[in-house]
Amino acid sequence: MESYYKMAENIKQLEDDLWDAADSLREGSRLSSQEYCMPVLGLIYLRYAYTRFKFVEKEIQKTLPCRNGVYPKIEAKDFRAKSAIFLPENAQYNYLLQHSADGTLSKAVDDAMIAIETECHELSGILPKNYQTIFKGQDSLLKELLRIFDNSALDDIQDDVIGRIYEYFLNKFAKNIASDDGVFFTPKSLVRMIVNIIQPQKGYVLDPACGSGGMFVSSGDFVNANGLNATDKLSFFGQEKVEFNAKLCKMNMAVHGLNAKIVWGESANTFYNDAHKLEGKCDYVMANPPFNVNKVKYEAALNAGRLPFGLPGYNEKTKEIGNANYLWISYFYAYLNETGRAGFVMASSATDSQHADRDIRKKLVETGDVDVILSVGNNFFYTLSLPCTLWFFDKGKKDELKDKVLFIDARNYFTVVDRNLNEWTKWQMKNLTSIVHLYRGEKEKYSAVINDYCNHFHEIAEQFSSRDMAYELGKCKKAADFTKIKESIEKEIQNIQEEQKQCETEFDRREAEALKTGDKKTANQAKRDKKKAHQVLEGLLSEINKVLAVANDALWLSEKFGKGKYADVAGLCKIATRAEIAEKNYSLTPGAYVGVAEVQEEDENFEERMKEIHKELNTLQNESNDLMAKINANLKELGLEV
């Protein structure tokens, strides 16, 4: 059985390899990330379109009569009947791969994009068609990019590997371009948390600041994962002022086989326009709007409506709203139908801002529709280090919850990706969502997460069948087993560390004995064997530490909520009544309600932490050296050697 973690790492490795190859070409081309972004994503779309074309072609072929091994010619109308795009020969990826790089490849790619837009009016004017300009005189570079994405792993349409690759590239470009302080791309952790708590099932989904469409894609994934068809169940509507982002959104939706009505340009400025006329009609509203926008025109916003609680404060002299956070908050509420849910990212300062904002917040709380407020820690955005807050409204709350709001302070619960970025793992998201499930009385969903943990340990037990801890992993049946699992994993780690010491001692002994006799060949072999053994055991430790991380998350959840009954947890979560919120001047800051957790004794391994710090210092030093080398090379080109 292939390692459970190895399978995930294989896809991750594919993502990294494809990105490294494509980005190295960008550096060689001297194109900026902004220039390079859309053409590369366009090529990924071409690869997706071809993969889906071949998949649907086979499905259609199964329904056609075959005579002497020959099938009737498949036509465009056959694809339309399957809600799929028919690709003319010149738009098929293999045709472009076989095209010689004689100066006409870039034109061939442009022609392929035009052919697809002709077949699919939804994509008209969306796909990039500037390859002749971007890759002028560099068809060999374009050919290499096409080759990079000619990877058999991208043929698996069922697991949406190519959709993951697209999102991964979009993510990487977002970090490189660093556009609009994080508005350009909402990190997947936040998107998925919003979707997990909103739990879309069917109806209208609106994102009035849709960016590249992450909320839509994640909503589709959520519905599909529950055995339904997102295309049939959800209707997506988006507004995006920036045309570049809107086109990314349309392509993102196409890559994932979803349809959406997206409006962009000035008519999509949500402050002044309800482009889809959806006030009071939406089942779900999700967004990551730009924070703290100022100079919004007071009269234009007033005339645009969607203000159930009135306008936020504005400057009498300039007739401008000083901070538009509560415009967004009002819009999100106004778009909901009588049972609709909203989830959105908001600046942390909005939870207790004063004056007109406080008055709007009071009216909002008094509706009984504020559902959950969740504080997020620093460094969740690629270009914004400040914390934020996730807000959730639910007009269809159960009567027993109408007087209550769940506050969660998750500022200290996350996984460090690197020194500039934090995120929630899959299990951490399950844990935080479980708190919401228990607050809503959905004990069966909490139990399902406990079962997910047990099933996970069962699945990976075979991978570690030769290790002592496999016994505890394999017999896990309930939350009470998680402590034993953690203990067995920690003991296993100690055993491996002892094995490492013994291996090092043994190979050092062999090397020393060989050197005494002057046998350099044997000494060098002992050194190589020591290195190999170290690598094998380090790899094993790495995988076991991943299992330990899951065990820690399993314990984090089960120790707090036992067999599935909600309880306030100091420093983490609290259910507050509207009266309690009124006592705190209608503040919606989770920290004001959950209090502070008891200080735990420091159990961090000092030696391991010092290794991490040393490794990070080495990384910083290497980055510094690389940067200095590039600066010197550039100065040399300018004849300014130092």
Query: 459-479 pLDDT, tens per residue?
Result: 899 888 888 899 999 999 888
The pLDDT assigned to 7 comes to 46
Give residue limits of the domains in the chain: 4-167, 180-441, 456-565, 605-642
Closest C-alpha among 506, 505, 524 to residue 515: 524
Tokens for 480? 């009470």
**Distance, CA of 274 to CA of 279 (rounded, Å):** 7
- pLDDT > 90 fraction of the chain, expressed in percent and rounded: 52
**Distance, CA of 135 to CA of 107 (rounded, Å):** 10
- pLDDT above 70 (res 610): no
Mean pLDDT for 322-327 is 94
**Distance, CA of 606 to CA of 608 (rounded, Å):** 6
Q: Are 197 and 227 in contact (CB under 8 A)?
A: no
Q: List, in order, residues 6 or more apart from 104 with CB less than 8 Å away.
A: 139
**How sure is the predictor about 398, in pLDDT bands with cuts at 50, 70 and 90?**
very high
**How sure is the predictor about 421, in pLDDT bands with cuts at 50, 70 and 90?**
confident
Find which of 38-47, 310-319, 390-399 is predicted with most confidence, using mean pLDDT. 390-399
CATH superfamily, domain 4-167, is: N6 adenine-specific DNA methyltransferase, N-terminal domain (1.20.1260.30)
Closest C-alpha among 572, 602, 217 to residue 409: 572
What contacts 24+ positions apart, CB below 8 Å, involve 150-154?
150/47, 150/93, 150/97, 151/14, 151/18, 153/11, 153/14, 154/47, 154/48, 154/51
- pLDDT above 80 (res 102): no
The pLDDT assigned to 138 comes to 80
Tell me the CA end-to-end span of the chain in Å, nearest whole number. Answer: 57
Q: Report DSSP state, residue 70.
A: B
The pLDDT assigned to 1 comes to 39
Domain 180-441 has CATH 3.40.50.880: no
Mean pLDDT for 67-74 is 78
> pLDDT tens, 518-556?
999 999 999 999 999 889 999 899 999 999 999 999 999
Picking from 21-35, 76-90, 243-257, which range would have the lowest pLDDT averaged per residue?
21-35
Mean pLDDT for 321-347 is 96
> 402: how many CB neighbours lie within 10 A of its CB?
12
Tokens for 297? 């025109």
CA distances from 457 to 453, 461, 471, 487, 551 (A): 6, 6, 10, 14, 9
**How sure is the predictor about 5, in pLDDT bands with cuts at 50, 70 and 90?**
very low
Mean pLDDT for 154-161 is 62
> Higher model confidence: residue 624 or residue 391?
391
pTM for the whole structure: 0.81
What is the rounded (10 degree) CA torsion for 42, 48, 50, 51? 160
Give the SS3 label for residue 283. Answer: strand
**Distance, CA of 301 to CA of 412 (rounded, Å):** 38
How are strands ordered across the β-sheet holding 314-315?
Answer: 296-297, 320-321, 314-315
Tokens for 199? 């739990």
